[in-house]
Amino acid sequence: MTKKKAIERAYEILKKIEDEPIRKVLAVADNIIQPNVVRAVESKNPLDYDGIVQKTQIYLPNSKRIIGYVKDTRFVLVRYDVGDTTLGSAIRYREGNTLLVDAVEGNEKFRKDEIFEVVYRDLVERAIEGGAEKIVFNIEVDTETLRKFVEFLGRKGLKEGRVKMNLETEAYLRAKKVKERLPMESTDMILTW
């Protein structure tokens, strides 16, 4: 094994360790070695999601809605960074074998097709790794970032449809707005891509 391969292997092993000091050292190494790479980090720490940086009303200090995401184990928040700068995040909700991407949030620098492609692929890979049989994207648009992400999904050729989900959580979900708006007997449908 070459020295480079050994370092890469050690790095991958360390990334899997659930230890905050090790994560911080690896984050610094990432910033030095690859300052322009988008990194995805799962976190349940509400302080990792800054509403001012990401231009959204659902994170601190603008709102306490993030607390609901942290308390409910069906939610996973993924933060996307470039270097030491946070650009955006995704809010994922798991119900059975279906993974709902309820929202993609971020600032102006996040709203680029190149970054959206990385985010899209990351979300799909995480869904597959987590055993989800279906991944759906909510198209309820109420922010500029969401609008641009939904437009990006449309350019990828993903088809719009409906998926049955109960969405029984106390936490805030944009997909619930779709449920309330749809003129159907069954209120457990959402529009998806």
Taking the chain (193 residues) in runs of 10, the rounded mean pLDDT of each run is 73 80 70 64 74 55 70 87 82 90 86 92 90 88 87 86 82 73 43 44
Q: Strands 85-95 and 98-106, how do they pair?
A: antiparallel
Count of structural domains, the chain: 2
Q: What angle do CA 55, 174, 94 make, to 5 degrees?
A: 110
- CATH code (residue 162): 3.40.630.30
* Residues 1 and 88 grouped into a single domain: no
* Residues 112 and 174 grouped into a single domain: yes
* Residues 72 and 159 grouped into a single domain: yes
Nearest C-alpha neighbor of 159 from the set 127, 181, 191 = 191
Residue 121: per-residue pLDDT: 92
Helix (H, G, I), strand (E, B), or coil: what is residue 126?
A: helix
Domain residue limits at 99: 36-192
* Residues 23 and 48 grouped into a single domain: no
* Residues 157 and 129 grouped into a single domain: yes
User: What is the pTM (predicted TM-score) of this model?
Assistant: 0.72
* Residues 188 and 111 grouped into a single domain: yes
- DSSP for residue 182: S
* Residues 78 and 138 grouped into a single domain: yes
Q: What angle do CA 72, 104, 40 make, to 5 degrees?
A: 80
Nearest C-alpha neighbor of 94 from the set 85, 84, 102 = 102
* Residues 86 and 21 grouped into a single domain: no
* Residues 100 and 65 grouped into a single domain: yes
* Residues 80 and 149 grouped into a single domain: yes
* Residues 57 and 71 grouped into a single domain: yes
Residue 32: per-residue pLDDT: 47
Q: In whole angstroms, what is the distance from residue 111 CA to residue 92 CA?
A: 19
* Residues 1 and 40 grouped into a single domain: no
Residue 28: per-residue pLDDT: 60
Sequential DSSP letters for 135-172? EEEB----SHHHHHHHHHHHHTTPPPEEEE-----SS-
Residue 146: per-residue pLDDT: 86
Q: In whole angstroms, what is the distance from residue 92 CA to residue 102 CA?
A: 6
